[in-house]
Chains A and B, each alone.
Chain A
Amino acid sequence: MNLEIGTELPPFVRETGLENWNRFAAVMDEFVPHHMDDEAGKKSGMPGAFGMGNLQSSYMHNLIRDWMGEKGRIRNFTIQWQQPNLKDTVVTARGRITAVEDTSAGKEVALELWTEDNNDRRLANGTAKVVFSA
């Protein structure tokens, strides 16, 4: 695995809409009208229904897990939401290595993370630290 600073993680990509959001609502018990109904989304000032912020967090975790495999462990994670995930857009979670450090626990890799849609809208920014055991 290439752990050089600047290396980009293989992106995690999903077409998003009610099929994803209803499944996430079902496991989170998050049946909020503006995530399920266009009219409710419009009342919240959006063009229609929009996705859950916590699903953006899961997409960033999926990105990290798919990249690190079972040898890595996520030590910490941060997220700041920027804009909502609009219906019928393609969301891509991306990441880049920003630092690598040898620690007593193993190699600790710092990541810059973000999600964006196919209209060049940044949805969320984040960071994480992953440790690969020696």
Chain B
Amino acid sequence: MSEASDTVTNISEEMRAAIGTVLGTRTSYPISASDIRKWAIAVYFPETPPERFVGAGGPDAPLTAPEEFNPFAWAAPGKKPKRPDVSAAFLENQLGITPPPLNTVLNGGTVVEYGVPMMEGDVITATNRLDNYTEKQGKRGLLLFSSMKDEWVNQRGEMVKRTTSTVIRL
């Protein structure tokens, strides 16, 4: 039996009890036509984006945002500039609980479910939760998978997207 498999679990009772906890909520400013155009120009650079992302916009023909557009990137009500926590304990630091004794963080990927599109003028509210902790034995030892689910709705309460992001720690 390897040394790694002797570790029964890195998921403490405190961590298990935190599953489902809301990590944060945020609401965007209304999405502007300029926000959409700039995003599209950046991701299609150096070619011209499709007209629906860069047209005149306005109330009669509001622009549609690209699916992966982020309305929270810069300013949002109540958002204060801060350095991101890039430590292996970032999640438990946010929860205010004791982190697992692991030092390496890998990106485990992202799963997105899309609902209605984001349009010029929309106000998006996001709720981010700790979705789950799971473990799996890997070649480098016991791997801790931590998933967070971020759900976005628009000002009418319609689901815009649900994103599940997973980080792997070892």
Contact = CB atoms under 8 A, between A and B. Distances in A.
Interface string B71-108: 00110000000000000000000000000000000011
B59 interface: no
A28 B73 contact: yes
B147 to A, nearest CB: 13
Nearest to B166: A80
B68 A19 contact: no
Contact of A29 (B44, B74, B109, B113): B74
A75 B67 CA distance: 10
Interface string A52-90: 011101110110010000100111111111000000000
Interface residues of A, number: 29
A134 interface: no
B39 interface: yes
Interface in B34-67: 38-39, 41-46, 50, 52, 66-67
Interface of B is mostly: mixed
| Interface range on chain B (Cβ under 8 Å from partner) | 20 to 34
Contact of B114 (A19, A24, A54, A77): A77
A105 interface: no
B132 to A, nearest CB: 17
B88 to A, nearest CB: 16
Contacts of A14: 45
A74 B110 contact: no
Given A53-B107, A73-B114, A81-B109, 12 more contacts: A26-B42, A27-B39, A27-B43, A58-B66, A58-B68, A61-B68, A65-B50, A75-B114, A77-B112, A78-B110, A78-B111, A79-B110
7 contacts: A27-B39, A58-B66, A58-B68, A62-B44, A70-B52, A77-B114, A78-B112
Interface of A: 14, 19-20, 23-24, 26-30, 53-55, 57-59, 61-62, 65, 70, 73-81
